[in-house]
Amino acid sequence: MSSTADTSRDVATVERFIPAPAEAIFDLLADPSRHQEIDGSGTVKGTPEGSQRLALGSKFGMSMKMGVPYSMVNTVVEFEENRRIAWQPRPSLGFMRWFAGGRIWRYELEPQDGGTLVRESWDIRQEAHPRAVRNMRSKVVDSMTKTLERIEQVVTAQR
C-alpha cells in the first residue's frame, strides 16, 4: 500500500492504508517489547524485561542507539483504545532533560473498508529545543514511512 506525508513546521505526519483491523495494529503499538520490530529508523534497540501493555500514563524504558547507546523513558500521553496512542520520550538522565526530549510520537488509527488508515506523527511543539531538531524532519519522515511499512508486514504476517 502507498504512504503519503504531510509536514508542517513542527509536526510531520505520514499515513498508510494497512489491510488489517485497527485492533491488531493497536495491540502491536501498545506492546513496547515489539517496538524494535517495527522501528523504521534503526535506533530502537529494545525494552527492559517485563514490559506491560501500555495505557494512559504508562511509563516505559527504551534502549536506543544513534551513534552512541542511550536510553529514554517514555510516557503515554494520549490513549484511546484501538484509535490513538502517543508517547513522549525523555532522556533517562535527569540533567539531559534540559537539552533534549519533549517530542511526541503519535499513532492514529481510522478503520476503513478492508483495513485501517494509520497516521504516524512526529510532533516537536513541546520539544526542549525545537530549532535544534527541525532539520531532522526529512529523515524522520523517511523513518516513519519505513515504520508504517514494517507495521503492515508484521500485522499481515500474523493473520
Query: For residue range 34-77, what is the model confidence (pLDDT) as tens digits?
Result: 888 888 887 778 776 667 899 999 998 776 777 777 677 889 99
Predicted pLDDT at 100: 66
CA 29 → CA 33, 78, 117, 127, distances in Å? 9, 13, 14, 22
Which pLDDT score, from 0 to 100, does residue 9 have? 81
What global pTM score does this model have? 0.88
Number of structural domains, the chain?
Answer: 1
Q: What is the pLDDT of residue 39?
A: 87
For 79-95, what is the mean pLDDT?
86
Range of the domain at 96: 3-157
**For residues 65-90, average pLDDT:** 88
- Residue 73: give its domain's CATH number: 3.30.530.20
Summarize pLDDT for 119-150 with one digit per residue, the tens: 999 999 988 878 888 888 889 899 999 999 99
